Amino acid sequence: MTGPVLGYRRRDGRVGIRDVAVVVYLVECARQVAEAIATGPDVHPIGFGGCYPSAYAQEMLERLCTHPNVGAVALVSLGCEGFDRERLADVVAASGRPVTTLVIQRLGGTRATVAAGRAWIAEVRGRRAARTAPLGLSDLVVGTICGGSDGTSGITANPVVGRVVDRLVAAGGTAVFEETGELVGCEHHMAQRAVTPELGIEIAARVAKAADYYTAMGHGSFAPGNAEGGLTTLEEKSLGAYSKSGSGPIHGVVTPGQLVPTPGLYLLDVVPEGTPRWGYPNICANPETYRRMGDDMDVDAGRILEGRAGIDDVADELLALVLATAAGAPTASEDLGHQEFVLTYKSSEPTGPGCLPMVR
């Protein structure tokens, strides 16, 4: 890197690495209109497809619309759905971001709403914020998210991520690893890394809850492709996923939408869902996958398997890439225009003091 890494300073003091405008559908019936509005660079459709009120979806969209990587928000309502669009608009306005609410049934239908939405986006994008806030590793909050795992994930890409997590936390930064449903079988080892015994008990209980959920659903977090790739059991897959968490102390557990209170290493208590791709490099574990799909990848960690690089070499590369991404370099999936997002009916409560002991 030459020169300092600069981000976007938001009114709440947090700094973003992206300045995305989100177009938010508040019911599935408004999704096509939202997607038609979200056509320019750095304009992403997100939303909730359900028709009935969901406290979880409300909380998640309030957090996402005031996320440091978001600079402007257009809400797209059909008009008859149960989502509390006024409250969401108020929360966004209170954060200082430009916000508009487009109600399809009032504006005269699909064409009129798409036109109004595009005009609003063009207007607010014309007065975008600039990158002025210097950023270091200690300012970053980096999350990990799995792709499709095979037998190589836990040998190459995930240990590389673990090394970067260790270095980031050592530098005063924050890392959040996931996800309880993918860590079944690792709970006792994880509990030993907790900064307090109470936190260790919480971690084990939350993984047990995820295992109960999967048992009730009749399946684990285990897809046919996992087995084709050489993984045999849920706990074997977990073991590979677990190596993304590095080797340091675990400072707490958070749930979706909850902010981490202080820098450190946190477990995100969640079972799989979609997440916006605002600056996520793709790290490919399998050298053959990289040869097939290199265009979609940012890092070729499969080199480790073929003796062409060591874990620390690839970790050096990834850490440099994290900083370059923070400075604004597009990742492969951003460059390709990926904007997938999923938010479903769920319930989730923020964790309490037992999960956030604030011990360092």
Residues that bind other proteins (CB under 8 A): 150-152, 154-155, 184-186, 189, 211, 214-215, 219-220, 222, 224, 227-236, 239, 243, 286, 288, 305-308
**Structure tokens given for 198:** 């109470």
Residue closer to other proteins by CB (options 238, 333) is 238
Helix 55-65 to helix 85-94 angle, to the nearest 10 degrees?
30
Please name which of 151, 341, 190, 215 lies closest in space to residue 269, comparing C-alpha atoms. Answer: 190
Query: 43 - beta bridge partners?
Result: 21
Instruction: Pick the closer one to other proteins by CB: 221 or 333.
Output: 221
Query: What does the DSSP assignment read for 211-224?
Result: HHHHHHHT--S--H
Name every residue whose Cβ is closer than 8 Å to that of residue 73 and which is 6 or more positions away in sequence. 21, 22, 24, 65, 92, 97, 98, 99, 100
What is the closest distance, in whole angstroms, from the C-beta atom of residue 308 to other proteins in the complex? 6
Minimum CB separation from other proteins for residue 207, in Å? 10
* Residue 64 vs 183, nearer CB to other proteins: 183
Residue 41 CB, shortest distance to other proteins, in Å, is 37
Name which of 242 and 341 has its Cβ closer to other proteins.
242
Choose between 220 and 264: whose C-beta lies nearer to other proteins.
220
Q: Output the smallest distance, CB 247 to other proteins, in A.
A: 13
| Residue closer to other proteins (CB basis): 151 or 281 | 151
Smallest distance from other proteins to CB 160, Å: 15
For every residue of 141-195, DSSP letters joined together read EEE-------TTTTTTHHHHHHHHHHHHHHTT-EEEE--GGG-TT-HHHHHHHBS
Residue 331: CB minimum distance to other proteins, A: 25
DSSP assignment of 269-328, as one string? ---S-----SS---EE--HHHHHHHGGG-SEEGGGGTTTSS-HHHHHHHHHHHHHHHHTT
Cβ pair 222, 271 in contact under 8 A: no
Largest CA distance in the chain: 62
Give min distance, CB of 230 to other proteins, in A.
Answer: 4
Helix/strand number for the chain, H first, E second:
13, 13
Min. distance of Cβ 159 from other proteins in angstroms?
A: 10
Q: Which lies closer to other proteins via its Cβ, residue 184 or residue 322?
A: 184
- In whole angstroms, the minimum distance from the beta carbon of 203 to other proteins comes to 16
Cβ atoms of 283 and 303 within 8 Å: the answer is: no
- Which two three-digit tokens encode residue 252? 């707490």
Task: Identify which of residues 118 and 237 has a Cβ nearer to other proteins in the complex.
Answer: 237
Angular region, 292: left φ>0, alpha ψ -120 to 50, beta rest: alpha
> Any residues with CB less than 8 A from the CB of 157 and at least 6 apart, and which?
283, 284, 285, 299, 301, 302
Query: In terms of CB distance, is 27 or 211 closer to other proteins?
Result: 211
